[in-house]
Amino acid sequence: MNGPHDLGGQMGFGPVAPEKDEPYFHAEWEKRALGVTLTAGAMGAWNIDESRHARECLHPADYYASSYYEIWIKALETLLKRHDFVTANDLAAGDAVDPAATPKRVLKAENVPAVLAKGGPCDRPVEGVPLFALGQRVRTRNFHPTGHTRLPRYARGKQGVIDAVREGFVFPDSNAPGQGEDPQRVYTVVFTAGELWGEGADPSLEVSIDAWESYLEPA
Amino acid sequence: MSHDHHHHDHDNELDPMAARVRALETILTRKGLIDPAAIDVIVDTYETKIGPRNGARVVARAWSDPGFADWLKRDATAAIASLGYTGRQGEHMQAVFNTDETHNLVVCTLCSCYPWSVLGLPPVWYKAPPYRSRAVIDPRGVLEEFGVTLPKDKKIRVWDSTAELRYLVVPQRPGGTDGWSAEKLADLVTRDSMIGTGLAREAA
């Protein structure tokens, strides 16, 4: 979707303002927000693509006014309600009022190190030869789906060159709405800044994205 | 924060987000859906165990061991795993090497993808709109804000982490470090130099 998250090339947000010796957390609640998000995700009711899509579905005014942990928590409430773990009554009461769905699993403290060390690999075997070869010119598709996609707007309908042929990976566009992993091969595609940004672009700049096979057409 | 609100019962002292997160944790805990002790372990892991020191050791090893550098180029996931760094948000790694000709910069314009296994949790600016919007269109302007001015003829390659590959920049090794141990070299490798918003420290 053309949501507030799709930020590449947008203007008006001001300077980056890096913080010297920045702490990992700026408040105690941020620690709990990280942990609640990860432990709730570990129930296995939704995948990473669905959670990303829940974040990008925040109203743009809300998204831009929120810190990243705030975005996480707001999206987490949506996911928990959608999957029947939490109700509006629970949230209004600030306590467990209604019954909850049964999770696939509950992440216990003693299992955290192993779960974090394993992560969630999303490479998958794919059949057949790659449609595109290293060095080949390609064009990204120009589409504007209302659902989740990982092809950013600034790189749609643009000509680039295959810079790396990767493995097969879970396809976010189908995985986010629960329509299956439908793995596809991923390619790193590199563009000149002139192709992406046109007049006045930095001639010394190239930008690459990682694109699923169905995002690409021969140029 | 000087004290931990989580273990107190003064809700009226909490700001709205603190209250909201605590309510969510309470609800999920009472329903038996999460284990609050698991949250403690997660926080401890990313506060004390997994951080940019991991990545610095990877870079220092690459600087001091050409065989490892070659492995890191070909199969970063395996090379990095050989040093013990694996797992969440580091499952599929790619190392990109700065050279005399090209400077590399990593961003996630769509969310906050970042190589947690080698750099830990991302800084706030990495996840915020100014960096995510400008890194792909005006990286030189962004670098100036980090105090980095690159020569005009130096190429810049920006890697937008739009899929599940996670990028680690290997900065150029500073001069005057011949014969340094990998441990000493690692002290020169900053977090920002592995994102591409900085360079390695000069040898003192």
Q: Is the CB of residue B103 less than 8 Å from the CB of residue B74? A: no
Q: Is A6 on the interface with B (CB under 8 A)?
A: yes
Q: Domain of A165: which CATH number?
A: 2.30.30.50
List CB contacts (< 8 A) between A102 and chain B. Answer: none
Please tell me whether residues B72 and B142 are part of one structural domain: yes
Region at A178 (left for phi over 0; alpha for psi -120 to 50; beta for the rest) = left
Minimal C-alpha gap between B84 and chain A (Å): 10
**Is residue B113 flagged as an active site residue?**
yes
The DSSP letter of residue A102 is P
Q: Is the CB of residue A173 less than 8 Å from the CB of residue A149? A: yes
Is residue A2 included in any domain, yes or no? no
pTM of model > 0.90: yes
Q: Is the CB of residue B104 less than 8 Å from the CB of residue B67? A: no
Question: Parallel, antiparallel, or unpaired: how do β-strands B93-97 and A216-218 relate?
Answer: unpaired
Residue A183 banded pLDDT, cuts 50, 70, 90: very high
Query: What's the rounded Cα separation, in Å, for the pair A115 and A120?
Result: 9
The CA angle A168-A119-A134, to the nearest 5 degrees, is 25
Please tell me whether residues A179 and A213 are part of one structural domain: yes
**Is residue B108 flagged as an active site residue?**
yes
Q: One of B113, B117, B161, B193 is an active-site residue; which one?
A: B113
Count structural domains, chain A.
2
- State the amino acid at position A174 in one-letter form: S
Please tell me whether residues B100 and B17 are part of one structural domain: no
Count structural domains, chain B.
2
Is residue A15 included in any domain, yes or no? no
B-facing residues of A in 117-176 (CB < 8 A) are 117-123, 150-152, 154-155, 166-167, 169-170
* Per-residue confidence (pLDDT) for residue B3, from 0 to 100: 44
* pLDDT beyond 90 at B8: no
Please tell me whether residues B73 and B25 are part of one structural domain: no
* Per-residue confidence (pLDDT) for residue B13, from 0 to 100: 65
Please tell me whether residues A32 and A107 are part of one structural domain: yes
At B170, phi and psi to the nearest 5?
-100, 105
* pLDDT beyond 60 at B11: no
Is residue A7 included in any domain, yes or no? no
Please tell me whether residues A106 and A147 are part of one structural domain: no
The DSSP letter of residue A199 is T
Is residue B204 included in any domain, yes or no? no
- Reduce the DSSP state of residue A178 to 3 states and report it: coil
* pLDDT beyond 70 at B70: yes
* Per-residue confidence (pLDDT) for residue B100, from 0 to 100: 97
Span A17-31, average pLDDT? 95
Q: One of B2, B64, B82, B111 is an active-site residue; which one?
A: B111
Please tell me whether residues A56 and A105 are part of one structural domain: yes
Is residue A10 included in any domain, yes or no? no
Domain that holds residue B17: 11-48
Is residue B123 included in any domain, yes or no? yes
Q: Is B108 part of any known ligand binding site?
A: yes
Q: Is B2 part of any known ligand binding site?
A: no
The CA angle B18-A7-A45, to the nearest 5 degrees, is 55
Q: Domain of A33: which CATH number?
A: 1.10.472.20
pLDDT of B172-203, one tens digit each? 999 999 999 999 999 999 999 999 999 999 99
Is residue A130 included in any domain, yes or no? no
Q: Which of A32, A116, A208 lies nearest to residue B6, judging by beta carbons?
A: A32
Please tell me whether residues A143 and A101 are part of one structural domain: no
Closest-CA residue of B relative to A31 is B43
